[in-house]
Amino acid sequence: MAPVAIKEKIFNVGVVDWDIRDFHGYSTYKGTTYNAYLVVDDKITLFDTVKKPFKDDLLHNIHKITDPRNIDYLVVNHVEMDHSGSVPEIIEAIKPEKVFCSAMAKKALEAHYGSHPWPLEVVQNGQEISLGQRTVRFLETRMLHWPDSMFSYIPQDKLLISSDAFGQHWATSETFDDEVALTELLRHAAKYYANILMPYSALVQKLLAAVREMNLAVEMIAPDHGLIWRSRPDAILEAYDVWSQQKAQRKALIIYDTMWHSTEKMAHAVASGLAEEGVSYKLMNLKRNHRSDIVTEVLDTKALIFGSPTLNNGMLPTMADILCYLKGLKPTGKIGSAFGSYGWSGEAVKDIVRWMEEMKIEIVEPPIRVQYVPNHDVLAQCVELGRRIGRAVKERTA
């Protein structure tokens, strides 16, 4: 990717990673980008670097604008290695006068890369530095995505460099939101939010309130992944407001796996009950859907209904996978239930319910289990469970 001017004398010198397909458990089936921003001012400043294998591409991009040795300042907004992986080599190449980062980032940089005589300068929340014509204000955004994270705001350009926040894992030849379909862009942003930021929703709410209180004029939001919000920063800010409130729609998700189709039949029967109540639903077979796509659906769905047969005194491994992943993402305000078949011991449903209770999912009674194959009566019970969940969804999303 060639550098792209995003504002006068401000360039995205980052790289596109077309090949990545897994990002710590998240299916990045459309790749991603590692954006880095170069501001050409009296003090030439680079905001973030890129994943280590792409360091030469970053240097190559910088070269197209200026000799990297002309860079005065490096800002490390976030230490996760997709952004800091090439910090040691970039510092070696550019020999910056100063490297700005948060106090937590200083510790994290040392923990990742050891002690070096780097010119690290810790900045505080709200602190400003001058680049010449421009100033940069640093805003600490702890846990969005790591304790070290911060935003960099340039008031003269009304530009918010937002690190992980407002990003998307989507490799494109385009750079800006108005060069792609907004619905698809928001879909990628929702997946990103659900899989990365959902556990920190309360902090996102606080951050949005703080930004409103500071009355920051934001004309452009430049995240470190994906496309830059040039035309519709309002759209992503509004979406983050909705997602971080975990506002659920009148929807249900049936997440299941099956061994000999018994649990699958139960899943379809539960779906019939939901349909009778006029509640929108999706069936997501764990053999056909990646956990990160399921979690994207979870984001705005009220009811989560899990189905697994019993295997070796427990649930199927695919079900354990999604429950473990989901628990870490801390969804809130959900209701749901569980179902499944068994041969002789039948622990799966009980174990699923225990996980659901740990996630504070309100259980709609009764979870249903059946020995071997569901007959007409059992399927009728599953339909009734679907109806009951459907009614509860309607009551709670009215």
Pick the catalytic residue from 83, 169, 188, 225: 225
Phi, psi torsion values for 250, nearest 5 degrees: -80, 70
> Among the residues of 31-181, which ranges form H helices?
55-63, 81-84, 87-94, 103-113
Least CB distance from residue 101 to ligand FEO, whole Å? 14
- d(CA 266, CA 106) in angstroms, rounded, equals 53
Q: Smallest distance, Å, CB 159 to ligand FEO?
A: 19
**Count of chain residues binding ligand FEO (CB under 6 A):** 9
Tell me if residue 238 is catalytic: no
Q: Is 357 a catalytic residue?
A: no
225 contributes a contact to ligand FEO by CB under 6 A:
yes
- Minimum CB separation from ligand FEO for residue 307, in Å? 33
> Is residue 297 involved in binding ligand FEO (CB under 6 A)?
no
Cα distance between residue 156 and residue 293, in whole Å? 39
Q: Which of these is catalytic: 41, 80, 140, 297?
A: 80
Residue 362 appears among annotated catalytic residues: no
Member of 48, 57, 82, 277 binding ligand FEO (CB under 6 A): 82
Q: Which is nearer to ligand FEO, 108 or 304 (CB)?
A: 108
Q: At what angle do helices 317-329 and 348-358 cross, to 10 degrees?
A: 10
Q: How distant is the alpha carbon of residue 196 from its chain centre? A: 3
325's tokens: 């992943």
CB-nearer residue toward ligand FEO: 78 or 334? 78
Q: Which of 198, 207, 208, 322 is nearest to 255 (CA)?
A: 322
- 225 is annotated as an active-site residue: yes
Min CB(130)–ligand FEO separation in Å: 28
Residue 135 burial (CB < 10 Å; 0-12/13-18/19+)? middle
For the window 129-168, what string marks contact with ligand FEO as x by the rule CB under 6 A? Answer: ----------------xx-----------------x----
By CB under 6 A, name the one of 224, 257, 264, 277 that touches ligand FEO.
224
Q: List the interface residues with ligand FEO, window 83-122 (CB under 6 A).
A: 83
* 82 part of the active site: yes
Q: How far is the C-alpha of 59 from the C-alpha of 371, rounded, in Å?
A: 63
Q: Does 78 bind ligand FEO (CB under 6 A)?
A: yes
Closest among 287, 243, 302, 269 to 383, alpha carbons compared? 269
Backbone φ and ψ of 229, nearest 5°: -85, 95
- 80 is an interface residue for ligand FEO by CB under 6 A: yes
Q: Report how far residue 285's alpha carbon sits from residue 317's, in angstroms, rounded to the nearest whole number.
A: 13
Yes or no: say if 319 and 348 are a contact pair by the CB < 8 Å rule.
yes
**Can 192 be counted among the known catalytic residues?**
yes
Catalytic one of 192, 193, 200, 256: 192
Active site residue 80: yes
Q: Could you list the residues that contact ligand FEO (CB under 6 A)?
A: 78, 80, 82-83, 145-146, 164, 224-225
Just list the catalytic residues: 24, 78, 80, 82, 145, 164, 192, 225
